[in-house]
């Protein structure tokens, strides 16, 4: 098995980290690797914000947790202090937080809303490829990371707190650091369950 395929297969979502700082040069190299992902029209619509200061991480974590509480209580859920604190600490305790955003600035401008909505889909898909590059690059450097969708549920909260311009959309958050856990190998579906050939339902 090649080292690249091995890295893809051995990467895990890491949620617990050693309280050890990650050198800025390592973070820069990981982000530079992310930038080599393919993108629609080569627009490279990703934008990344890095948070390593304790105060910045905690402020963002707290703001997102508060927005989450407001959201879920609309459905009648009760959130106690312990659950709220756990939400805050999940991100605040990570040595590095990387906020992934997208911009439509260099995407194609379409004449109708339906096609413009598709352009937005293409930008999201492009950001996803950069995120995968980022996660694998972190793994190859001995770092652990986990991709969270939390900012997608409270975009305006994140935008206001981090002074993100209106044309830039917060999309996801990566927590990163040196691993302090070794998660089990997750179950994977067999090819028969998700691959088809020539027509839907014909197994490959």
Per-residue pLDDT at 75: 86
71 assigned to some structural domain:
yes
The domain total for the chain is 1
As a whole number, the mean pLDDT across the chain is 96
Q: What span, in angstroms and rounded, lies between the C-alpha atoms of 130 and 28?
A: 14
Range of the domain at 176: 3-180
pLDDT single digits (tens) 108-156: 999 999 999 999 999 999 999 999 999 999 999 999 999 999 999 999 9
198 lies in some domain: no
pLDDT score for 48? 98
Give the single-character DSSP code of 14: -
Give domain status of residue 199, yes or no: no
Buried-exposed string 123-133: b where 16+ CB fall within 10 A, e elsewhere: bbebbbbbbeb
Kindly state whether residue 166 falls inside one of the protein's structural domains: yes
**Of 62, 182, 167, which is closest to residue 123 (Cα–Cα)?**
167
State the alpha helices, DSSP H only, in the chain: 3-10, 24-34, 54-73, 81-92, 113-140, 155-161, 191-194
Is the predicted pLDDT of residue 3 greater than 90, yes or no? no
Structure tokens that stand for 82 in this block: 């312990």
Asked if the structure places residue 12 within a domain, the reply is yes
Query: Which pLDDT band holds residue 1 (cuts at 50, 70, 90)?
Result: low
- CATH code: domain of residue 156: 3.40.109.10
């Amino acid at each position: 098995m090649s080292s690249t395929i091995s890295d893809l297969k051995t990467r895990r979502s890491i949620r617990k980290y050693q309280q050890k700082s990650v050198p800025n040069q390592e973070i820069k190299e990981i982000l530079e690797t992310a930038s080599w992902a393919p993108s629609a029209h080569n627009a490279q619509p990703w934008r990344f914000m890095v948070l390593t200061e304790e105060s910045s991480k905690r402020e963002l974590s707290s703001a997102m947790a508060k927005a989450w509480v407001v959201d879920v209580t609309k459905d009648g859920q009760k959130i106690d202090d312990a659950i709220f604190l756990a939400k805050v600490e999940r991100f605040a305790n990570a040595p590095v937080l990387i906020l992934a955003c997208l911009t439509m600035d260099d995407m194609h401008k379409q004449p109708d809303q339906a096609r413009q909505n598709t352009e937005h889909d293409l930008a999201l898909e492009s950001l996803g490829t950069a995120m995968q590059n980022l996660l694998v690059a972190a793994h190859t450097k001995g770092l652990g990371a986990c991709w969270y969708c939390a900012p997608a549920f409270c975009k305006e909260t994140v935008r206001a707190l981090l002074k993100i311009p209106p044309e830039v959309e917060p999309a996801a958050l990566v927590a990163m650091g040196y691993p302090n856990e070794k998660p089990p190998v997750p179950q994977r579906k067999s090819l028969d369950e998700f691959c088809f050939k020539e027509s839907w339902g014909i197994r490959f």
